[in-house]
Amino acid sequence: MAKKDRLNNTLRVRLDTLLAHAGRLIGWVGVIFWGALGVYGISEALSGQAQGSVDGVMGTICLILAALHGFLIFSASGIRDLIQDFRLYSAALAKDSQKSIVRLAETMNLPLERVLERLQKMCKRGYFNGYLDYKEQCLSFPAVSAAEKKVVFCPGCGARNTIARAGDVCRYCGAPLSKPQD
């Protein structure tokens, strides 16, 4: 697996979480700020107290900017929801040695199509270092040779874990694991 592909899934999820929170915050500030200015400008123009037609045009522009910030909130919320689903899906998949998508859909009590769509988005964003195998209806991961795998003990719970690279997490408690040096 290329070094570029080894970027830790946890870091990607954490970065997306941070971006989603920032996007929602910036979105709400923009909606409130631009929305208030837009409503003020339009109300001034409609009441006849405007200094010309500029107040109405500026009010409209401000409302458009508020709507764009609303879209930012919507997008950030979608990423936040995807991350929440990733955490649920990865916990369920960790218990399934076959990584069956059908079994995941049954466990989550969701339609198979919805689970497939969400898994596609997760793989595309790099949350999983795998791909969807539609023929076998499972989530597949690139093979790692036995020589690349090492047994380590979790510093958090003491559980024995087999890992392929530093940055993996304990499958029991989620604590970061480091690969021992050869």
Summarised one tens digit per residue, pLDDT across range 100-128 is: 999 999 999 999 999 999 999 998 888 88
Residue 148: pLDDT over 50:
yes
For residue 143, the model assigns a pLDDT of 63
- Mean pLDDT of the region 162-176: 74
Predicted confidence (pLDDT) at residue 10 exceeds the cutoff of 80: no
pLDDT at 4: 42
Q: Is pLDDT at 30 greater than 60 in this prediction?
A: yes
Task: Give residue 170's region: left, alpha or beta (phi > 0; psi -120 to 50).
Answer: beta
pLDDT at 37 exceeding the cut of 90? yes
